[in-house]
């Protein structure tokens, strides 16, 4: 039985302490009124233009992400524990990246297999011995966390490349404050609206050191057809910086310059939402039209900062995930505060044999997959789907990992059938520059279909406002 975050799993089913105010409020609401408020919230999202693109039959079809108006609540004590574990993990992952691109001591110690790094598509050999500002590779991180019990939290994934979703976190809060101001007068909820300000401060803190003026920051987007384009535009606007595409930038006079109506103006920090392969056609994919020719050499020379750094994907590769507990212990000298989900790495013969035999019971994921694509949820799949996936794993085992199907916690959600429990996860957002900045809460993603464990918006999931209570 899944853990219900509002009412727990014990007898009596009273509201847990974090929901002491929300429970009675929800019990007193008429369903018709909640549906009316939900429609108003959707209208607000449409007016704001909060969309994401779905790839497939309708290439880059624009959709409104479903928003559930019943908040998910965490106590201050729960958040303190999560925050300590997240900070430990982020520091360890950045130390791992620095080591991998320098002395590779963890490989020499045999704690991580060397071939898992050097043959990894996310490893960027061009980053060897490059010194990123402050020694940080991943400045903007999203850590996906699931809950299975009162005190049982697990990290499901690390997102160290270009994590998305923070714009929904911010808009969810604004929408809830607009729809239910009376709730915020009853409950002290930690604010999240400082994120754009914190993001800008983090980006400024990793600017090239030789500047004699405030650094100029830009957000580099692949363009309006990208699934997260709304977020790129949103963050640039909230930070008060320019949103640019590769064609807007040029290397000139030994620096990165932005084309403006007043001529070329120097750029110091690039918050890029373009994948490594497309960042610089002179270093990576020659056919790329999304990046900037020559930007990587400027980065190597310390004349521009790229956030997140090229090669940061090595830390969130799913084949590396199973070694993160070793990584945390190796670089911090302590056991991880937040545990991993037990993971079968199909590159190991014993793990592969187990996965092939028990595939109908497991969640199987592509090592480089994201967004809920390229995965099999065994218990929710047909025998034909399992058989087809088994053939793919058997043909290329190094491309897959598998995990047990967890009983993810649930939270009351407004569905077509009424208020019902739905499974969810949490993506807190971390900023790492001159110091660690962790926004209280994060983005709660919820599986809107009954029994579904897939929370990704691209697969029909929605979002909730996440409340961290202040003491």
175 and 90 in a single domain? The answer is: yes
224 and 365 in a single domain? The answer is: no
Q: What is the pLDDT of residues 197-236, one digit of tens each?
A: 999 999 999 999 888 789 999 999 999 888 889 999 999 9
On whether residue 149 sits in a domain, the answer given is: yes
Q: What is the pLDDT of residues 329-347, one digit of tens each?
A: 999 999 999 999 999 999 8
247 and 394 in a single domain? The answer is: no
In this prediction, residue 57 carries a pLDDT of 43
58 contact partners, CB below 8 Å, separation of at least 6 = none
Reported as type and span, the H/E element at residue 448 is none
217 and 231 in a single domain? The answer is: yes
DSSP 351-396: HHHHHHHHGGGEEEEETT--TT-SEEEGGGS-HHHHHHHHHHHHH-
315 and 222 in a single domain? The answer is: yes
Q: What is the pLDDT of residues 171-198, one digit of tens each?
A: 999 999 999 998 999 899 999 999 999 9
95 and 133 in a single domain? The answer is: yes
| Cα–Cα nearest to 147, from 445, 456, 471, 470 | 445
What is the pLDDT confidence band of residue 371, given thresholds at 50, 70 and 90? low
d(CA 266, CA 244): 13
On whether residue 282 sits in a domain, the answer given is: yes
On whether residue 129 sits in a domain, the answer given is: yes
In this prediction, residue 53 carries a pLDDT of 57
353 and 439 in a single domain? The answer is: no
357 and 425 in a single domain? The answer is: no
Chosen domain end from 380, 404, 428: 404
Query: How wide is the angle at C-alpha 123 spanned by C-alphas 118 and 126, nearest 5°?
Result: 100
CATH number, domain of 353, equals 3.30.1490.270
249 and 377 in a single domain? The answer is: no
On whether residue 122 sits in a domain, the answer given is: yes
In this prediction, residue 163 carries a pLDDT of 92
On whether residue 86 sits in a domain, the answer given is: yes
365-391 burial, b for 16+ CB within 10 Å, e for fewer?
bbbeebebebbbbbeebeeeebeebbe
Question: Which residues partner with 61 through β-bridges?
Answer: 54
On whether residue 239 sits in a domain, the answer given is: yes
Average pLDDT, the chain: 92
| Cα–Cα nearest to 328, from 103, 202, 150, 155 | 155
Q: What is the pLDDT of residues 372-383, one digit of tens each?
A: 567 898 888 999
Bond prior to 247 in cis (omega within 30° of 0): no
On whether residue 5 sits in a domain, the answer given is: no
d(CA 155, CA 340): 5
297 and 359 in a single domain? The answer is: no
In this prediction, residue 130 carries a pLDDT of 97
Reported as type and span, the H/E element at residue 308 is none
On whether residue 107 sits in a domain, the answer given is: yes
Q: What is the pLDDT of residues 84-100, one digit of tens each?
A: 999 999 999 999 999 99
Chosen domain end from 355, 386, 404: 404
Chosen domain end from 352, 377, 404: 404
Q: How many domains does the chain have?
A: 2
Pairing of strands 269-272, 217-220: parallel
359 and 243 in a single domain? The answer is: no
What is the domain range of residue 266?
17-341+406-468
207 and 322 in a single domain? The answer is: yes
d(CA 182, CA 184): 5
């Amino acid at each position: 039985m899944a853990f219900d975050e509002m009412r727990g799993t014990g007898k009596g089913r009273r509201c847990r302490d974090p929901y002491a105010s929300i429970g009675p409020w929800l019990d007193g609401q008429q369903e018709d009124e909640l549906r009316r408020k939900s429609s108003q919230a959707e209208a607000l999202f449409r007016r704001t233009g909060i969309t994401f693109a779905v790839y497939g039959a309708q290439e880059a079809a624009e959709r409104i992400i479903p928003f559930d108006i019943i908040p998910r609540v965490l106590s201050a004590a729960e958040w303190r524990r999560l925050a300590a574990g997240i900070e430990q993990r982020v520091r360890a992952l950045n130390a791992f990246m620095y080591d991998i691109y320098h002395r590779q001591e963890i490989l020499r110690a045999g704690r991580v297999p060397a071939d898992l790094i050097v043959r990894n598509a996310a490893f960027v050999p061009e980053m060897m011995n490059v010194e990123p500002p402050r020694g940080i590779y991943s400045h903007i991180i999203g850590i996906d966390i699931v809950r299975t019990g009162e005190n049982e939290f697990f990290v499901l994934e690390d997102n160290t490349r270009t994590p998305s979703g923070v714009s929904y976190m911010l808009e969810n809060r604004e929408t809830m404050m607009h729809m239910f101001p009376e709730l915020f007068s009853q409950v002290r909820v930690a604010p999240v609206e400082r994120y754009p300000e914190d993001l800008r401060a983090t980006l400024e803190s990793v600017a090239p050191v030789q500047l004699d003026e405030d650094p100029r920051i830009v957000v580099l987007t692949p363009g309006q057809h990208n699934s997260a384009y709304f977020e790129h535009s949103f963050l640039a606007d909230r930070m008060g910086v320019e949103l640019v595409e590769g064609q807007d930038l040029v290397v000139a006079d030994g620096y990165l310059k932005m084309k403006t109506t007043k001529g070329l103006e120097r750029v110091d920090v690039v918050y890029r939402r373009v994948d490594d392969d497309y960042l610089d056609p002179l270093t990576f994919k020659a056919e790329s039209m999304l990046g900037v020719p020559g930007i990587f050499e400027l980065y190597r020379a310390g004349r521009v900062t790229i956030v997140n750094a090229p090669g940061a994907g090595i830390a969130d590769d799913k084949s590396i995930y199973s070694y993160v507990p070793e990584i945390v212990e190796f670089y911090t000298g302590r056991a991880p505060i937040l545990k991993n989900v037990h993971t079968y790495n199909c590159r190991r013969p014993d793990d592969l044999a187990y996965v092939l035999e028990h595939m109908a019971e497991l969640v199987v994921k592509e090592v480089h997959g994201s967004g809920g694509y390229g995965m099999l949820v065994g218990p929710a799949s047909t025998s034909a789907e399992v058989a087809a996936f088994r053939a793919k794993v058997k043909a290329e085992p190094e491309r897959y990992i598998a995990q047990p199907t967890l009983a993810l916690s649930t939270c009351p959600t407004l569905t077509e059938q009424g208020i019902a429990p739905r499974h969810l996860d949490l993506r807190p957002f971390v900023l790492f520059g001159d110091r660690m900045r962790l926004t209280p809460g994060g983005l709660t993603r919820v599986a809107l279909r009954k029994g579904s464990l897939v929370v990704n918006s691209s697969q029909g999931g929605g979002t909730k406002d996440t409340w961290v209570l202040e003491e």
